[in-house]
Amino acid sequence: MIRAILYLIAAVLLISVLRSVIGIILRGFAELLHPSPSAAARPSSQPSGGELKKDPVCGTFIAAATSIQKKVGGQTYYFCSPECRDKFK
Ligand SMILES: [Zn+2]
Q: Are 68 and 82 in contact (CB under 8 A)?
A: yes
Tens-digit pLDDT profile for residues 56-86: 999 999 999 999 999 989 999 999 999 999 9
57 CA to centre of ligand 1 in angstroms? 6
64 CA to centre of ligand 1 in angstroms? 13
The model's pTM is 0.45
68 CA to centre of ligand 1 in angstroms? 10
77 CA to centre of ligand 1 in angstroms? 11
Tens-digit pLDDT profile for residues 3-17: 999 999 999 999 999
Q: How do the domains of the chain map onto residue ranges?
A: 2-40, 47-88
